[in-house]
Amino acid sequence: MALLLIKSRPSNLTNPAVRALRFASSDGRIQLHKSKGQHILTNPRVLDAIVRRSGVGPSDTVLEIGPGTGNLTLRLLEASRRVVAVEVDRRMVDALSRRAEERGFRDRLEVIHDDFLKTKMPSFDLCISNIPYMISSPLIMKLLFESVRPFKRATLLLQKEFAHRLLAKPGNPGFNRLAVNVKLVAGVEFVMNVSKRDFVPCPKVDSTVVTITPKLETPNVDLEEWRAFTRTCFNTKNKTVGAIFKQKRLLELLRRSEDRDGGGYVESEDGVEMGLFKDRIIGVLKQEGFEERRPSKMGIEELLHLLELFNQVGIFFNERRKI
Ligand SMILES: C[S@@+](CC[C@H](N)C(=O)[O-])C[C@H]1O[C@@H](n2cnc3c(N)ncnc32)[C@H](O)[C@@H]1O
């Protein structure tokens, strides 16, 4: 029986202009690549605190994204039933596998050698990771919207400013589309700040640990439509939602604008045009150019439903709030 599972796929992260850094680890010298976000968390107190605050228990399967040389992984193996780690760098996969084997953990560790954003999502109870910061947004979207089955919680070490935008309330500076998308399906909580001095090599920015807990019930919404809708709302900087969709006026205009064939365009005060065909919204045209969208299944009723959901996540249509 293969005890240490390593699934492999060639990496496409082969930028020749990569800026490499020298780092002396306990496993020998490994060249760390900034382009892969390789900042190793070395402070044992912080590592222990992350494990403790994650609430991991002996029955949990943990997903770790970007385990690196395994400083966090070994602690997670001590505390959990099983760890599935996804790592893009072959050298890290080897270093981690060696360390896990030395510590007698090899039958409880599965290492997937792949880019997390491209790999098939494994099943897991908890995700606990010091992630590569440059893929933070797509990583969180993948966790929340592509998980095979519901998971309990994700405990993530994020760049401090990024974490604070996720924690921001509607109307606060920094509140962005990712925060809205996350808020629809999950709750985000602050856990602790981590100094940049706790990493080797020392990054330019401090970090923050947050937990992201999926809601037990998610709203009844076509997530693809929701994401297109929030993209429209957040593409127009420094505007309120009310300015983008003047609800009554927009709907009146939409209905009146329909031509003989059932198609038409209307323009809002902010230069946002919506294309209609037989009561279906087929595209959004803005001052900067046409935003490509597949013909939408969304009709006027669905648009109103999305606006209602916006209220539920705390963005009120009629309030003059900046988003
Ligand atoms: C910030 S380091 C964290 C290392 C380790 N978890 C720690 O706490 O010390 C990020 C790790 O993610 C890996 N990585 C970068 N991009 C990745 C991707 N797209 N998929 C999976 N792993 C990735 C890097 O090779 C690196 O090992």
Q: Which residue has the higher pLDDT, 19 or 184?
A: 184
Structure token digits, residue 26: 């306990």
* Residue 313 in domain: yes
Same domain, 182 and 248: no
Q: How far is the CA of 237 from the centre of ligand 1 (A)?
A: 32
* Residue 230 in domain: yes
**Residues 190, 208: Cα–Cα separation, whole Å:** 8
Same domain, 79 and 195: yes
Same domain, 78 and 188: yes
Same domain, 170 and 238: no
User: Is 70 near ligand 1, meaning CB less than 6 Å away?
Assistant: no
- φ, ψ for residue 26, nearest 5 deg: -70, -15
Q: Which residue, by CA, sits nearest to atom 4 of ligand 1?
A: 68
**Residues 206, 200: Cα–Cα separation, whole Å:** 13
Give the whole-number percent of the chain exceeding pLDDT 90: 48
Give the whole-number percent of the chain exceeding pLDDT 70: 65
* Residue 110 in domain: yes
- The answer to whether 96 and 85 have CB atoms below 8 angstroms apart is yes
CATH of the domain at 176: 3.40.50.150
Structural domain including 239 reads 223-321
User: Is 95 near ligand 1, meaning CB less than 6 Å away?
Assistant: no
- DSSP for residue 105: -
Pick from 37-41, 61-65, 66-70, 166-170: least confident:
166-170
- What residue has token string 């896990």? 100
**Residues 137, 47: Cα–Cα separation, whole Å:** 23
- The answer to whether 128 and 104 have CB atoms below 8 angstroms apart is no
* Residue 7 in domain: no
Q: How far is the CA of 218 from the centre of ligand 1 (A)?
A: 30
Same domain, 48 and 148: yes
Chain segment 221-248, per-residue pLDDT in tens: 777 777 767 776 776 666 666 566 544 4
Write the DSSP assignment of 283-305 as a string of letters.
EEEETTEEEP-PPP--BHHHHHH
* Residue 32 in domain: no
Residue 68 alpha carbon, nearest atom of ligand 1: 27
Q: Which residue has the higher pLDDT, 274 or 63?
A: 63
SS3 state at 62:
strand
* Residue 199 in domain: yes
* Residue 3 in domain: no
CATH of the domain at 248: 1.10.8.480
Chain segment 102-131, per-residue pLDDT in tens: 999 999 999 999 999 999 999 999 999 999
Number of domains in the chain: 2
pTM: 0.77
Same domain, 193 and 139: yes
